[in-house]
Amino acid sequence: MTSAGAPPGDSGDDRSGTVTGHGGIVVTDVHRAFGEVRAVDGVDLVARPGAVTALVGPNGSGKTTLLLVLAGLLVPDTGSVRIAGYDPVTENYAARARTGWMPDTFGTWDSLTSREVLTTVAAAYRLPRELGVQRAAELLELVHLTEYADTPAHVLSRGQKQRLGLARALVHDPDVLLLDEPASGLDPRSRVDLRGLLRRLAAEGKTVLVSSHVLAELDEMADDAVFLSRGRTVASESVESASAARRTWRVRALDPEPLAAWLTAAGVPFTVEEDGAALLSLDGDPSAAALLRDAVGAGVPIASIAPSSGALEQAYLALEEERR
């Protein structure tokens, strides 16, 4: 997304002061029920400025509800929330001014063009007109929709709408970004772009909270992860530590026989997959490197060795295991 380039006359560094100290998102023991359904039932969460935090959980675990609370749309039944230092319940307006929210299912104003959608939102955020127009152009460029700037939003594809929604959340240059399943419907290219964009926003000092149930896409995007299950925080950890944790690796050799023989001889417990690859449990990259060195030294024709799935996915599945 470097193609987007820098907007003229824009220096970005005047922002750094505002996010230090009291920035970020702090959620303490938030509950929110809809009648009988306890959608959010005890969430604690800290999202640091300058980092991308993943909000992970299965369908119905309360991610969207939590983000609605954070966006200042819902009052939590109990618990407290701070967004960039403001309480969205008592200081809704100030919190709103600093929050960019991208809903999971969003409609667009059908008859408006992409550009008009963004200029309208800019006006709604009380940006002066010329600035809004300039902002819209920059953001369309940023999400690669310049081509569709003047087509009605309703002819955009799902992924394009999603990108427009992301641009819409960025119009007022918020300190805190709340993105609800931003990657759904995006093609691989757009996912890579999204990742790059979020990384750069974080590097600018913004707080980015991304919800998803597709764990693989969060691995390379997120610094921290918060796991939700049935409305509760079940774990928070950094992606780095999740990567370092013991997890399953997949080792494939040109010929499965020598690999199996060597592993048995070395006393490493493993299971064999249908294609002859071996699954084994290792605690982190150094162990994997050591295993690879030894195996190659022993003349086993290793073709590949990699974690069998993403770090977050494994951490998440491990949690699910524990809960059974």
Partner 1 sequence: MSTDTQTGTGAPAAVPGEIAPRGDWALSWNGVRTVATLELRQRLRSTRWKIALVVWFVVVGGITLLTTGAVGLLSDSPGMDDPRTPLGPLVFGIVVFFVLFLGLLVAPTLSASAINGDRNAGTLATLQVTLLTAAEIVVGKLLAAWAAALAFLVASIPFIAFALVLGGLSVVALLSTLGLLAIMLGVVCAVGLGFSALTTKTSGSAVLTYLVVGGLSIVSVVLFGLTTPLVTVRDEPVRVWAPADTYDGLVEPTGSPQCEWRTEEQWVVHTERTWWLLAVNPFVVVADAAGSPVDDEFMGAADPLSGIRWAVREARSGPADEVDYCFDWYGNPVGDSPVAERVPDSSPVWPWGLGVNLLLGIGGVLVAVRRLRIPHRKLPRGTRVA
Per CB under 8 A, the list member of 189, 200, 246, 293 interacting with partner 1 is 200
The closest of 195, 210, 207 to 86, measured between CA atoms, is 207
Q: Interface with partner 1 includes 138 (CB under 8 A)?
A: yes
Q: Which of 3-11, 243-251, 262-270, 288-296 is the region at the interface with partner 1 (rule: CB under 8 A)? A: 3-11
Per CB under 8 A, the list member of 44, 104, 223, 237 interacting with partner 1 is 104
Using CA atoms, how far residue 189 sits from 8, 183, 297, in Å, is: 26, 11, 39
127 binds, among Mg ion, partner 1, ligand ADP, none (CB under 5 to 8 A by kind): partner 1
Q: Interface with partner 1 includes 182 (CB under 8 A)?
A: no
Task: Give the chain's largest Cα–Cα span.
Answer: 73
**Where in 286-315 is the site for partner 1 (CB under 8 A)?**
none
39 binds, among partner 1, Mg ion, ligand ADP, none (CB under 5 to 8 A by kind): ligand ADP
Pairing, β 302-307 against β 176-180: unpaired
Q: Interface with partner 1 includes 34 (CB under 8 A)?
A: yes
The closest of 251, 228, 265 to 306, measured between CA atoms, is 251
Q: How far is the CB of 211 from Mg ion (least distance, A)?
A: 7
Q: Interface with partner 1 includes 279 (CB under 8 A)?
A: no
Answer yes or no: are the C-beta atoms of 237 and 224 closer than 8 Å: yes
Taking residues 60 to 99 in sequence order and writing x for each that binds ligand ADP by CB under 6 A, - otherwise, the string is xxxxxx----------------------------------
Angstrom distance (rounded) from CA 199 to CA 220: 10
CB contact set of 304 (below 8 Å; sequence gap of 6+): 250, 251, 252
